[in-house]
Amino acid sequence: MPTNHSAQPGTLAPLTPPASRLPKVGTTIFTVMSALAAERNAVNLGQGFPDFDCDPKIVDAVAHAMRSGLNQYPPMAGVPKLRQAIAGKIGKLYGHAYDWDSEITVTAGATQGILTTILCAVHPGDEVIVLEPCYDSYIPAIEMAGGKVVSVALDAPHFHIPFDRLAAAITPRTRMLLINTPHNPTGTIWRAGDMDRLAGLLAGTDILLLSDEVYEHMVFDGQPHQSVSRHPELARRSFVVSSFGKTYHVTGWKVGYVAAPAALSAEFRKVHQFNVFTVNTPVQHGLADYMADPAPYLDLAAFYQAKRDFFRAGLAATRFKLLPSDGTYFQCVDYSAISDMSEADFSMWLTREIGVAAIPVSAFYSQPRESGVVRFCFAKKEETLALALARLKAL
């Protein structure tokens, strides 16, 4: 029942706010750390976005589409030539033939693709297994769908996949499993043997898989990206999410896609048409034209590996202990030789006193968990990384 508030004549009674759908959610750690970095003029290696510009050719391609009059609604599922380019890329790289018309949907960024996937597939009371630490949108999306989050922690400090505990978490109510490779925040990757073990766990079940692969083109040291699209048993039950923003250094454009079998895509699109309907038309045309040259995404691993190697070489001269960075543009470090502060307190101190912003890995868990690890982003200009390293060497 609405609450009646008394008010003085001529004034409006205060409005009773609605009950929160996400009562546990506050301001994200990324916003907090970026604001603190700006306040202290710190080098911001916290939030995961580049500080360098994209290829001017992709901007020209979008501008050309705008000037050509491609500014009205596109088809709900996305511009055909872009979906054709996506399907062609997946087929060449991972050997799976998605039908561009019925199995590829362009989304307003990967986060919208993740939310729409969960809303279309998860019903109240369904259990959804999440491997933690994890990207911060997963759990709120499950809760908004009425699902029950079942958290399985990766094995710290190297964040290996705990297959025995993963298997034990599966119940008759398990509807979906979320995985992320390359993994944010830890920089680890799934390998072919891991995918085989996962397929064995899920065989004979109706469990769906949401595979967040937004860093698919950032896998280092000659390792291939193990998309679930490579594995027939996994592909047939999977929604695969990826991001043009990560691949082409245009995170603010917020365009991604979801690839899934036709029956799953049909359900996905029922939700997609009402929570976003469709995505920016000229950007879709520009992306399609830019994808005609595969070099920008094929060369991305080498581009970011050079940054990773430069950053790791500098960190080796500090008191941080380096953890593996097999993919993404993130580097995690163990700071136990420097401080016994909590991860959040250490990140704040590092920003205020040393002038370098990081993100506590504890922020990627639903329940407090300390590993003595923070995450840096190395998607930065070399001079940005060099300045951060000079400050960190003073520790």
How far is residue 167's CA from residue 188's CA, in Å, rounded to a whole number? 20
Q: What's the whole-number mean pLDDT along residues 61-76?
A: 98
Q: Pairing state of beta strands 174-180 and 238-243? A: unpaired
- The DSSP annotation for 32-55 comes to HHHHHHHHHT-EE-SSS--SS---
Given a cut of 70, whether residue 307 has pLDDT beyond it is yes
Q: Which top CATH class is 56-293?
A: alpha beta
Q: pLDDT tens digits for 263-276?
A: 999 999 999 999 99
Does 187 score more than 50 pLDDT? yes
Angle between helices 281-290 and 56-67 (to 10 degrees): 130
pLDDT band at 304 (very low <50, low <70, confident <90, very high): very high
pLDDT in tens, 214-235: 999 999 999 999 999 999 999 9
Cβ neighbours, 10 Å, residue 68: 10
Distance, CA of 231 to CA of 179 (rounded, Å): 14
Question: For residues 117 and 124, is the Cβ–Cβ distance under 8 A?
Answer: no
Q: Which residues contact 342 (CB under 8 A, 6 or more apart)?
A: 360, 362, 370
- Which two three-digit tokens encode residue 143? 């809760």
* Contacts of residue 52, Cβ cutoff 8 Å, sequence gap at least 6: 249, 380, 381
The per-residue pLDDT of the chain, averaged, comes to 95
Band of residue 168 on the pLDDT scale cut at 50, 70, 90 = very high
* Residues facing 257 on adjacent strands: 106, 242
* pLDDT of 3 over the 80 cut: no
SS3 of 154-171: CECCCCECCHHHHHHHCC
- In this prediction, residue 11 carries a pLDDT of 81
Tell me, what's the pLDDT at 73? 97
- Give residue-wise pLDDT tens across range 234-270: 999 999 999 999 999 999 999 999 999 999 999 999 9
Q: pLDDT category, 1, cuts 50, 70, 90?
A: very low
The confidence score (pLDDT) of residue 110 equals: 98
**CA quadruple 77, 100, 261, 98: dihedral sign:** negative
Helices 80-94 and 281-290 cross at an angle (nearest 10°) of: 40
In a 3-state reduction of DSSP, which class is residue 138?
helix
What pLDDT does residue 142 have?
Answer: 98
Identity of the residue numbered 386: A
pLDDT for position 30: 84
User: How many residues are listed for the chain in this entry?
Assistant: 395
CATH 3.90.1150.10 segments of the chain:
29-50+299-392
Superfamily for the 29-50+299-392 domain = Aspartate Aminotransferase, domain 1 (3.90.1150.10)
Q: What proportions of the chain, in percent to the nearest 5, are helix, strand and coil?
A: 40, 15, 45
pLDDT in tens, 342-387: 999 999 999 999 999 999 999 999 988 999 999 999 999 999 999 9
Predicted confidence band at 9 (pLDDT cuts at 50, 70, 90)?
low
Instruction: List phi, psi (to 5°) of 212.
Output: -85, 110
pLDDT digits (tens, 9 = 90+) for 18-54: 999 998 888 788 888 999 999 999 999 998 999 999 9
- Which part of the chain is CATH 3.40.640.10? 56-293
Q: Is 0.85 surpassed by the pTM of this model?
A: yes
